[in-house]
Structure 1
Amino acid sequence: MRIAFVGKGGSGKTTLSALFTRHLAHSGAPVLAIDGDINQHLAQALAPGEDNPSTPPPLGPALSDIKAYLRGTNPRIASPDSMIKTTPPGRGSRLLRLLGDDELHSRHVSRAGGVPLMVTGEFDESDLGVACYHSKLGAVELYLGHLVDGPGEYVVVDMTAGADAFASGLFTRFDMTFLVAEPTRKGVSVYRQYRDHAREFGIPLAVVGNKVTGEDDLLFLKEQVGDDLLTHLVQSDWVRAAEQGRAASEALDALEPHNRHALTVLRETVDARSRDWARLHRHAVEFHLRNARAWADARTGESLADQVDPDYVPGPAALS
């Protein structure tokens, strides 16, 4: 299952992404964390006891190589240069298994706090004024588009803050989206935007309250988001200590019981869902055609609608 954590900057989105990923890894489940935020802090959140946790070579700068690899022998893609972030897989494309023994995983996965991690890369000085961060996220979109993950496998993505995720079709690539919200007006401000877009495309969305200090906070969240409020986490001394580098214990078992229960609720919610391969592929094709018409045909000088393979069957059947 593919899970996105979204929310306003400062809501605790990265912290929740890391806690949930560690919760899954602690159970022995195959899990991959992906840092898709412009502020690359997921490695530190996954390894709170390490001053400078190692990160893998970022995906963003390797986008051209990733395109060439995933293109495989797909005859509908003329060259890697004509491949864009929304190009869907077709017959001949290289498909990926989660944490498989392949070129892409071997180059771009390392471990932070014992958890497999991919990163998009920072927005650096060479990007200023000439690029947007979504060009780096294109590598994540292509990765998820070519990934054939199986039951009991998890990909957890810490997304960009606010509503920036809607600048691409990446938001449709998930089985479940958790919106992290503090109990403040600003904290829930992004919720309505996500709710409306998620409903339009049939994307399951649940709100996770964070930094809740009492009944008044919880009542506020219920009034603002209604039945979309799935669970909440209370203000955590353990998390604050970890963020300050003074955690008495790095073990997740030391997290407050209420917060550990909230992580269990998140997993139960994810596990209750089933993968809809047809929906994922339908959205991939839809956003590819949108991008082709809007800019990509003109930029490449090709009709990128021809990259869509009408006979491609998404999902495990494509592996054969």
Structure 2
Amino acid sequence: MKMRIAFTGKGGSGKSTLAALFVGHLRAAGHRVLAVDADVNVHLAPLLGVTAGPEGALSRPENARQVRRHLLGTNPRVAGVEHFVPTTPPGPGSRLVTLDADDPVLVRHATALDARTHVLHVGTYEPDDIGAGCYHGHLAILENLLSHLRLDVDDWVVCDMVAGTDAFANSLHAQFDVIVVVAESTPESVSVARRYRELAAAAGVADLLAVVGNKVVDGVDRDYLARELGGAPLTVLSTQAGLRRARQAGACPRLADLDDVAPLARIAEYARSRPMSPGRREALLRALHLRLAGQDWVRSAHGDVTTQLGPVPA
């Protein structure tokens, strides 16, 4: 399987920690993994032991241009790197990113934990962004990278998304096979999970969602999640004293800090059972590109970007 999985949820739900532990689970199983920190708070990278400075952020303008220049290749459908929009698809002559250790994008912009595991971070707000930008613009380079990604069998992409529902701003909700919504047994956390479900249904990707309960104390918490979500979560992680103590000591989370790794195995098993077909992903991304192409700001800045699309697949 070639799998893409995203972790999201209310801020503080533990989504970044769970994503880091899931990366550890995949590494232990021998998979090639690309971990992407796409949270404005930049938590996943440090949880994996990576220093995520602004100079290495994908969204840094010079880095984004370099990545897009590489992806563009000789694709005649895109007039230049400045005409990449979030939904720009690959075309003839485009270069695709792989999880090979010598891939140019990984060599220049990722941190290697080992030859089979690389970490990218999108970045956060910088002083120059104050009053003049939003995080959606930062995420556009991630959308470009994901749409120009070629995975081999047993490769995984694990993305820690920004908290809340920003994945529906452009095309990120269509880029994954599974979107894990991490929920605590609180009204606020459950309300985010329910909202994500509503938006996913409206976007035609309700089947991609899986809710995972986190920091569950007892049966009352389990019952609360099941009642408020209209069914039991895919799996739950109980409150982990060992993990909490490790984090309090400033240590990166490890599988050894967990009482039970079965919930991580359950998430992986679930993801493998429902990969998105290439045809469905292409159709979703095509529709989203056409919708974006109709926006006035896109027409004003880039002209008619519908020409970036190839023929409709037979």
- TM-score > 0.5 by shorter chain: yes
The residue that corresponds to 2:48 in the other structure is 46
Q: 1:194 aligns with which of 193, 196, 219?
A: 196
Residue 59 of structure 1 is matched in structure 2 by 58
1:110 counterpart residue number = 111
Which residue of 2 is the match for residue 317 of structure 1? none
State the alpha-carbon separation in 2 of the partners of residues 145 and 236 from structure 1: 36
Structure 1, unmatched stretches of 5+, are 48-52, 314-320
Partner residue, 1:37: 39
Residue 9 (structure 1) shift? 0.5
Give, in whole Å, the separation in 2 of the partners of 1:80 and 1:164: 24
> SS at the partner of 1:39?
coil
Please list, as runs of the form range in 1=range in 2, the aligned pairs for 1:104-143 lying within 5 A after superposition: 104-111=105-112, 115-143=117-145
Match of 1:5 among 4, 7, 13: 7
The alignment yields a C-alpha RMSD, in angstroms, of: 2.1
1:236 aligns to 2:235 (yes or no): no
Task: Work out the CA distance in 2 between the residues paired with 1:147 and 1:100.
Answer: 14
Q: Offset at 1:254? A: 3.9
Cα distance, 1:113–1:12 mapped onto 2, change above 3 Å? farther
Equivalent of residue 149 in structure 1, options 131, 135, 151 = 151
Using the TM superposition, name which of 211-220 and 285-294 deviates more. 285-294
- Cα distance, 1:302 vs. partner? 1.6
Amino acid at match of 2:57: P
After superposition, the Cα gap between the structure-2 partners of 1:108 and 1:301, relative to the gap in structure 1 and judged at 3 Å, is: closer
Measured at CA, do residues 250 and 63 of structure 1 come closer, stay the same or move farther in structure 2, by a change above 3 Å?
closer
Match of residue 227 from structure 1:
231
Amino acid at match of 1:186: E
Q: Is the 8 A contact 1:55 1:111 kept in 2?
A: no
Scaled by the length of structure 1, the TM-score of the pair is 0.89
- Give the secondary-structure state (helix, strand or coil) at the position aligned to 1:263: helix
Q: Which residue type is aligned with residue 264 of structure 1?
A: A
- Which structure 2 residues correspond to residues 1-320 of structure 1 after superposition, within 5 A? 1-47=3-49, 53-55=50-52, 57-61=56-60, 62-99=63-100, 101-111=102-112, 115-200=117-202, 201-202=204-205, 203-227=207-231, 229-245=233-249, 251-257=254-260, 260-310=261-311
Equivalent position amino acid for 2:4 in 1: R
The 3-state SS of whatever aligns with 1:38 is coil
Please identify, of 71-80 and 154-163, the stretch whose mean Cα deviation from structure 2 is larger. 71-80
Cα drift, residue 168 of structure 1? 1.7
Q: Structure 2 length as normaliser, TM-score?
A: 0.91
Q: Which runs of 5+ in 2 are unaligned?
A: none
Deviation at 1:58, TM superposition (A): 1.3
What amino acid does structure 1 have at the position aligned with 2:241? D
